[in-house]
Amino acid sequence: MIVIYFSKEKVMKLKYLIAAAAFLTSGAFAQNINISDGWVRATVQGQKATGAFMKITAIDQAKLIAGNSPAAGLVEIHEMKMVNDVMKMAALPNGLDLPAGKTVELKPGSYHIMLMDLKAPLAADSTVPVTLTFQDAKGHKTTQEMKLPVKSLATSSEHKH
């Protein structure tokens, strides 16, 4: 018979290692997406859609595949680009690629998260809850919830035309 004796210190260490392993398998991916400088463009009465903008950095390669918000009936990931001298906006059918370690900027005139079918006007200085869904290279999905400040066009420094 083999008796394995753990000192109190070793038991503590073992518990810590088990906790660390559980964290690495379940929660690590969520920590690998950094979002900063998020904001949503304010809307006026009757306006049914607006854009959400932010900087996203994935430590490991990932994709932004979906979004949703209680303020909007539908959320899509869009890109704007020039097609025959006309600025066109389209949903990205396969999501937005987030290369490892590279900051992808969602900004007016470029990639953005489109909030559509708005339930009420979004007033400047309020906040909008938005949840984004990311998928890693192995297909694992994770969501990240945030509250984005609403800014009017005039006060937004990001606005360039």
Minimum CB–partner distance for residue 59 and Cu ion (Å):
27
Closer residue to Cu ion (CB): 51 or 63: 51
Angstrom distance (rounded) from CA 17 to CA 23: 10
Tokens, residue 76: 């899509």
Closer residue to Cu ion (CB): 138 or 160: 160
Strand partners, 63: 97, 135
Select the residue whose beta carbon is closest to Cu ion and give its number.
78
Q: Is 114 in the site for Cu ion (CB under 5 A)?
A: yes
Closer residue to Cu ion (CB): 104 or 114: 114
Instruction: Give the x/- contact pattern for Cu ion in 62-91, rule: CB under 5 A.
Output: ----------------x----------x--
3-state secondary structure the chain: CCCCCCCHHHHHHHHHHHHHHHHHHHCHHHHCEEEEEEEEECCCCCCCCEEEEEEEEECCCEEEEEEECCCEEEEEEEEEEEECCEEEEEECCCCEEECECCEEEECCCCCEEEEEEECCCCCCCCEEEEEEEEEECCCCEEEEEEEEEEECHHHCCCCCC
Minimum CB–partner distance for residue 115 and Cu ion (Å):
9
Q: Which stretch binds Cu ion (CB under 5 A): 55-63, 110-118, 126-134, 144-152?
A: 110-118
Minimum CB–partner distance for residue 114 and Cu ion (Å):
4
Closer residue to Cu ion (CB): 74 or 114: 114
Size of the residue set binding Cu ion (CB under 5 A) = 3
Closer residue to Cu ion (CB): 89 or 124: 89
- Return residues touching Cu ion (CB under 5 A): 78, 89, 114
